[in-house]
Structure 1
Amino acid sequence: MAEHNPTPASVSAHTEKKKQGQRSVLLGALFLMATSAIGPGFITQTGQFTYTLGVSFAFAILVSILIDIAVQLNVWRVIGVSGMKAQELSNRVLPGLGILLSVLVALGGFVFNVGNVAGGGLGLNSMLGLDATTGGIITAVLAILVFLSKKAGAALDKIVVVLGVVMIVATAYVAIVSNPPVGDAVKNMVIPEQIDFTIITTLVGGTVGGYITYAGAHRMIDAGISGPEYVKDIAASSVTGIIVTGVMRFLLFLAILGVVVTGVALDTESSIAGQAFGIAAGDIGTRIFGLILWGAAISSVIGAAYTSVSFLTTAKTSVGVKNALTVGFIAISTLVFAFAGKAPATLLIVAGAVNGLILPVGFAVLLIVATFKRASLLQGYKYPAWLLVIGWLCWLLTIYLGVNSLSGIAALWNG
């Protein structure tokens, strides 16, 4: 029988198809990270801080983006080169630490997922007038359907990209309609009229804190992309993910700023972003806000569930079991929402403190691996010294974030 030898053309086609698949996965991973960060809390914070700082908020956005890039460059590189998830690396550094990290991530992810489902309900209420509880349940069911798909991984990658693009385009429209002082905003990115470091650290914690830190990197290695040969792709994807988040933050800031600079009084007890969108673009603005809030919520439901479960499973866990656990994770958080109507304030405060602890603990582990365990865990990869220096400096900032988050627990305990 004659042997079948592949032709150069068929080999080339196979290689190109493989590269396309890898690009698709990396695009999905970076958007998973970005859309996980762009949740209901992201929108609320942006509205509040724009109302508080005005044009000076542009500086806080820029600085937080630079810090986020430094963090994620290290997180993605260590996880991507090693091919091991954060909890596995943690157990290699200190046995048992990975279990603690997994519990913290899953706990924080679960509580915030209740809030994400609630955000989905509020989004559908603003967009379509649906009852908020019904809207939350619909949001959760749609998220569950992603993981019931036969090709859940591919579906997840495509959906988070589509949601990310829709949110950015919709926000850009309102940013144009609201006619913000773009020149003043750009000037304040470099020469701010006022600086609030508390707001900057809050933005950093909200963008790369908790499960969000690991969302994209874990998705990447789940899809089989790991090893020193992928360093350039890993670095580019991690930076691009943060830039996507930054673009969304800046567009949202401009959309709200156009209303804030007119001096109109907004109700700080209600959604400042929602009010600003309504004032800038009327009824359609309110519905667009609902679309953006819903998109932010459902993508965060998907991201929180996927990443939390990635900490509760291993490489040996079958895809079917992982998807089943993810569905259960979403279903239980939805039941809590349905009975409570929202994530209880006490739980949100506790989860916020937990998220504040995850970043310094988990990030320290990754930096220890990059600094001291390159030969054994990073396959001998020569880690850039400049990236390590920046990483350790950012780690000091995460300690400050962690201390601030614990103050929330103290206030709750004493109150």
Structure 2
Amino acid sequence: MDPRTPLDAGSRQAEHEHATTPSRSGRSALLGAMFLMATSAIGPGFITQTTNFTVQLGVAFAFAIVVSILVDIAVQMNVWRVIGVSGLRANELANRVAPGLGWALALLILLGGLVFNIGNIAGTGLGTDAMMGLDPKLGAVLSAALAVGIFLVKRAGAALDKIVVVLGLVMIGLTAWIALTSGPPVGLALKNSVLPEQVDVLAITTLIGGTVGGYITYAGAHRLIESGRTGPEHASEIAKGSVYGIVVTGIMRSVLFLAVLGVVHGGAKLAEDNPAASAFQQAAGEFGLRAFGVIFWAAAITSVIGASYTTVSFLTTQSTSARNRNLATVAFIAVCTVLFLVLGKAPVKLLVFAGGFNGLILPIGFTVILWVAWRRRDLLRDYAYPKWLLAVGVLAWLLTLWLGWQSITGLQALWS
């Protein structure tokens, strides 16, 4: 897969000049990579999941959020460091480790990404319905058209970076406002973040799988390669970007948790068919419902963008022209939209099946990342990989193996 060639003296000098002269576009792309990782995780399932666990666990859910953020950071710091320093995508690295493994990983990403993107497109329709009362199918088609438009503009990469950053900030801002309105018991939540009233292992593992599982693991790291901020000289910057991306996700999860907690802690009952929308409406009336629509739509459309971009990055190489990559991404969005219109929504069994694949992708892909960090210094351009980071990664990897086993068990139960 797209082997790297040795740098001659002139290209080494050019690389050095590029590394020592930061550009505004490079910084913007790095910021975009952080938010692409974060907003890919913050989808319709993220919002529903967080709401349901808040209702079930109350203030004790704070501990699950903290633990999941720490594990997510351990995973992403290793993924970003290896991909960023090597300048190779996960599928390219996998093919260097074992020929054909990268394509197998790409197939898993494609299967999971296709089904989840149908769900994401359905989510945009639900968002426009809550936001402005638009027919969900029409809202979904218009949203898909917007996503297609982003990849058809002349500077698609720059447009993508701006869109995910702006919508990410809009989601956090509106949710924080609802959290302030709902009046959650912040002190009690802070106490439970370190001394929980109960520990729910299922909640923790579900959050981890939803934040760094499947294509989400590689969304930001693959965008990072296109930013030009790769190689050992950018290791520190890469490390900060990986942490900040997870922090953005954690902030959104936390403010959403507080927004819902403020409603349910007072004894209010949420509507079973759409508990998140119900919580926002009870917190801030009609404005709350419309705000929920904006947040849900923003979460869905950024996930459509993230899933499509990342899936196609596994099906192409770095030698593929930007135009062809963008056209492939447009085709992927179009196929998902047509399937949504035909199916109405992704069948529940398929969504569960795709979730199981996400659980399998994480340990397979992460094994490749850690193997490269430990044994393939040649792929890291002779970079001395931090031993402490590798050790932290191995601990997180052991957890991903357990998650993978749970996924296999779940898939067996699904089809038995």
Partner of 1:78: 82
* Structure 2 Cα separation of the partners of residues 150 and 396 of structure 1: 43
Partner of 2:381: 379
Instruction: Report the AA paired with residue 390 of structure 1.
Output: V
Partner of 2:67: 63
**Count of residue pairs brought into register by the alignment:** 400
Contact 2:19 2:233 in 1 (8 A): no
Alignment of 1:186-205 (within 5 A): 186-205=190-209
Partner of 1:290: 293
**SS of residue in 2 equivalent to 1:226:** coil
**SS of residue in 2 equivalent to 1:307:** helix
**1:264 to partner: Cα distance:** 1.7
* Structure 2 Cα separation of the partners of residues 193 and 28 of structure 1: 38
Partner of 2:309: 306
Aligned: 1:223 with 2:227: yes
Query: Which of 258, 261, 271 matches 2:262?
Result: 258
* Structure 1 Cα separation of the partners of residues 68 and 345 of structure 2: 29
Alignment of 1:299-338 (within 5 A): 299-338=302-341
Partner of 2:15: none
* Structure 2 Cα separation of the partners of residues 406 and 48 of structure 1: 24
* Structure 2 Cα separation of the partners of residues 30 and 328 of structure 1: 25
Partner of 1:3: none
Residues 302-347 of structure 1: CA deviation (Å, up to 9, x unaligned): 0000000000001111111000000000000001111111111121
Partner of 1:5: none
Alignment of 1:127-206 (within 5 A): 127-206=131-210
* Structure 1 Cα separation of the partners of residues 171 and 269 of structure 2: 26
Residues 162-188 of structure 1: CA deviation (Å, up to 9, x unaligned): 000000000010000000001100111
**SS of residue in 1 equivalent to 2:23:** helix
**1:266 to partner: Cα distance:** 2.1
TM-score between the two structures when normalised by the length of structure 1: 0.95
Alignment of 1:360-371 (within 5 A): 360-371=363-374
* Structure 1 Cα separation of the partners of residues 318 and 67 of structure 2: 36
* Structure 1 Cα separation of the partners of residues 230 and 86 of structure 2: 7
**SS of residue in 2 equivalent to 1:150:** coil
What are structure 1's unaligned runs of at least 5 residues?
A: 1-13
What are structure 2's unaligned runs of at least 5 residues?
A: 1-17
Partner of 1:48: 52
* Deviates most, 231-240 or 345-354: 345-354
Contact 1:47 1:271 in 2 (8 A): no
Contact 2:260 2:276 in 1 (8 A): yes
Contact 2:62 2:190 in 1 (8 A): yes
Partner of 1:33: 37
Partner of 1:275: 278
Aligned: 1:352 with 2:355: yes
**1:275 to partner: Cα distance:** 0.7
Aligned: 1:398 with 2:397: no
**1:16 to partner: Cα distance:** 9.3
TM-score between the two structures when normalised by the length of structure 2: 0.94
Query: Which of 391, 398, 412 matches 1:389?
Result: 391
* Structure 1 Cα separation of the partners of residues 113 and 19 of structure 2: 38
**1:150 to partner: Cα distance:** 0.3
Contact 2:131 2:292 in 1 (8 A): yes
Query: Which of 117, 120, 123 matches 1:116?
Result: 120
Instruction: Report the AA paired with residue 77 of structure 1.
Output: R
Residues 166-219 of structure 1: CA deviation (Å, up to 9, x unaligned): 000000100000000011001110111010011101000000000000000100
**1:18 to partner: Cα distance:** 3.9
**SS of residue in 1 equivalent to 2:415:** helix
* Structure 1 Cα separation of the partners of residues 51 and 20 of structure 2: 44
Instruction: Report the AA paired with residue 308 of structure 1.
Output: T
Contact 1:44 1:273 in 2 (8 A): yes
**1:17 to partner: Cα distance:** 7.5
Task: Give the share of equivalent positions with the same residue, in percent.
Answer: 61
Q: Given the superposition, is the C-alpha separation of residues 15 and 60 from structure 1 closer, same or farther in structure 2, using an over 3 Å criterion?
A: closer
Root-mean-square deviation (CA, aligned residues, Å) is: 1.3
* Structure 1 Cα separation of the partners of residues 126 and 358 of structure 2: 24
Contact 2:30 2:227 in 1 (8 A): no
Contact 2:128 2:136 in 1 (8 A): yes
